[in-house]
Amino acid sequence: MEKEIKRKAGFHISPYLHSTFGEILGTLIYDGTWVGKDSPIPNVNGIRKDVIDGMKECGITAIRWPGGCAADHYHWKDGIGKERKRRLACSGQPNDFGTDEFMELCRLVGAEPILVANVATGTPEEFADWYEYCNGDADTKYGSLRAQNGHPKPYGVRFWGIGNTDENVWHMAFNDPKQYGQNFLRFRTAIMHALKDVQLIGLGLSERHETYGWVENFLEYVTHGKRWKGPDYLSVHHYIGAAKGRYEACGDAVEYSDEAYYFTLDSIKAYQADIDLHRIYIAQHTSDQYPTKICFDEWGLWHLDATDETGLRQRQTMRDALFAGLSLHVFYRNSDIVEFAMETQYANVLQSLFETDGEVFVKTPTFYAMKLLKEHLGNDLCDISFGIEDPMLDICTSISPEGKKVVISVINKSLTEDKVIAVPECLSGYDIISAEEIAPVCVRMENTAEHPEQIHIENVNNLEPGWLKAKKHSMVRYCLEKGEKE
């Protein structure tokens, strides 16, 4: 085994790998985020305090809004000022929560805002106006409007998505990637004077695509054979779960078989395949002078109970937590090119962090998985061999920039066996200072309003120097620090 820790050059684990996504959909915004300033539910300027505190607790660093699909039907001017009315064509939901409220949410959480422009039903001019509203000085046309609405200081929004996959790829440009390429360039040109201050997210693929050649042709159209700058990021969307055709073997959200459990966790390899594929596209069609990275901006499980009739709510068990942990491990291992990864979505929709219903607030298994692993953020990935080949174990190791702290996370997928792992020789100068685990007695447990903490984080007791332990169907995170004497 190695006697020194090998830091993987260029693999810095971006804090933005713990991002999330909020769409004007179901009850994510109205009840899951916005309750109004006069609500008896504790709030800060109308935004649920429990959601604010929860996102801070699990380390959320960026939030994407207003979609998703909703982005390509959303007109931002409907959601500012005092007079706001809902529009049926734009989700039919109220516009009480608009740009200024979203910026307040990001400020309170300490998260970077990511706004998605309406490319399908909007115009480049509308996008340029929105950019100016967010980033213009108070003496500009829309910056002054923002100031009139009580926000004199520019928001400084740096990250902008140019449309969402659904409308722009699946429906509008299914066989015509050049059409989206034209739109991308039109929208980019609309803020040409500000490009040095922004990062633009263009559209990559998702699991529903059957449009082979779409990304390559889009990139080629924009970069003209690597001569011009492409998008700063390519977005990737991929949901796994029984609601998605080829993943029907995942089974029920709670009453799944052992075979469905293993099939679901094994399906994580599709995320690695997505990343590998986009690496090829980026290498073939963009220049090192104008680097393009990956924004995995929708990931998660989509269970059968998440339908339009249920507002896309779904139940979660320990399997969802393990799925989240394995997904994050994939993103950490590809941190040279994956800079954003957005769990979908943060409240009440799909693999959410929280479930709310009036005063009820429940932290999901996915919340605890993200909280457990946030110690990796800002570290450099390590290339450490533990000397074992066990398909049931997934281990990720990172080291702090100054080298004083090492973080090891171990996911044990086995439904029947606890695991014990020897600490490799290269870590002999480090002491285990803390260890926490998510290890419920039953893998099908879930957190509910009546039992909100059946799945939670606990301290690991009886630590043994030189050994790491992981109970069956669990995830555990160890923090090590360099001892006084090496």
**pLDDT tens by residue, 451-463:** 999 999 999 988 8
What band does 32 get if pLDDT is binned at 50, 70 and 90?
very high
| pLDDT surpasses 70 at 173 | no
Answer yes or no: are the C-beta atoms of 382 and 365 closer than 8 Å.
no
For helices 269-285 and 318-333, give the axis angle rounded to 10 degrees: 30
Which residue, of 318, 352, 379, is where some domain finishes? 379
Report long-range pairs for 174-178 (Cβ below 8 Å, ≥24 apart). Answer: 174/211, 175/211, 177/211, 177/213, 177/214, 177/215, 177/217, 177/218, 177/221, 178/217, 178/218, 178/221
| pLDDT of 213 | 86
Which pLDDT does position 165 carry in this prediction? 82
Residues 6+ apart with CB under 8 A from 416: 472
Per-residue model confidence (pLDDT) at position 201:
97
| Average pLDDT of the segment spanning 415-430 | 94
Residue 19 lies in a domain: yes
CB 350 within 8 A of CB 308: no
Mean pLDDT of all residues in the chain?
Answer: 94
Instruction: Say how many CA atoms lie within 13 Å of 139 toward its Cβ.
Output: 0
Residues 364 and 388 in one domain: no
Q: Is there a single domain that holds both residue 368 and residue 416?
A: no
pLDDT bin (cut points 50, 70, 90) of residue 486 is very low
Q: How confident is the model at residue 157 (pLDDT cuts 50, 70, 90)?
A: very high
Residues 212 and 292 reside in one and the same domain: yes
- How many domains does the chain fold into? 2
The answer to whether residue 209 scores a pLDDT higher than 60 is no
Q: Is residue 125 part of a domain?
A: yes
Residue closest to 410 by CA, chosen among 470, 363, 352, 462: 470
Pair 363, 393 in one domain? no
Domain boundary among 379, 396, 414: 379
Please name which of 482, 379, 469, 356 lies closest in space to residue 431, comparing C-alpha atoms: 482
2 belongs to a structural domain: no
Establish if 101 belongs to a structural domain: yes
Residues 284 and 420 in one domain: no
**Residue 373, in any domain of the structure:** yes
| b/e sequence 62-93, b meaning 16+ C-beta within 10 Å | bbbbbbbbbbbbbbbbbbbeeeeeeeeebbeb
Tens of pLDDT, residue by residue over 252-287, are 999 999 999 999 999 999 999 999 999 999 999 999
Query: Which tokens belong to 207?
Result: 């699991």
Strand pairing partners for 468? Answer: 421
- Position 89 confidence tier, pLDDT thresholds 50, 70, 90: confident
Taking Cα atoms as reference points, which of 211, 200, 199, 118 lies closest to residue 169?
A: 211
SS3 475: strand
Same domain, 422 and 461: yes
Query: Do 135 and 212 lie in a common domain?
Result: yes
For 135, residues 6+ apart whose C-beta sits below 8 A from its C-beta are 143, 154, 155, 156, 157, 194, 197
Residue 437 lies in a domain: yes
- Please indicate, yes or no, whether residues 63 and 164 belong to a single structural domain of this protein: yes
Secondary structure of residue 215 in the 3-state scheme: helix
CATH number reported for the structural domain that contains residue 240 in this entry: 3.20.20.80
Extended strands (E) in 217-353 = 233-240, 293-301, 338-344
In a shared domain, residues 417 and 433: yes
Q: Are residues 278 and 391 in the same domain?
A: no
Residue 89: partners with Cβ closer than 8 Å, 6 or more residues away? 73
Q: What is the pLDDT of residue 484?
A: 64
| Residue located via tokens 């539910």 | 41
Domain annotation covers residue 1: no
Amino acid 1: pLDDT: 46
- pLDDT score of 47 more than 50: yes
Mean pLDDT of the region 180-196: 94
Residue 133 near residue 145 (C-beta atoms within 8 A): yes
pTM across the whole model: 0.96
Q: How many C-beta neighbours within 10 Å does residue 418 have?
A: 13
Residue 270 and residue 219 share a domain: yes
Element (H, E) at 397: strand 393-399
CB atoms within 10 A of CB 481: 15
Q: Are residues 142 and 197 in the same domain?
A: yes
Print the domain residue range for 455. 381-482
226: left (phi over 0), alpha (psi -120 to 50) or beta: left
Domain closes at, from 333, 357, 379: 379
CA geometry: angle 408, 295, 126, nearest 5 deg: 145
Dist CA 196 CA 81 (whole Å): 30
316 occurs within a structural domain: yes
Q: Which two tokens stand for residue 353?
A: 């962090």
CATH number of the structural domain spanning residue 437: 2.60.40.1180
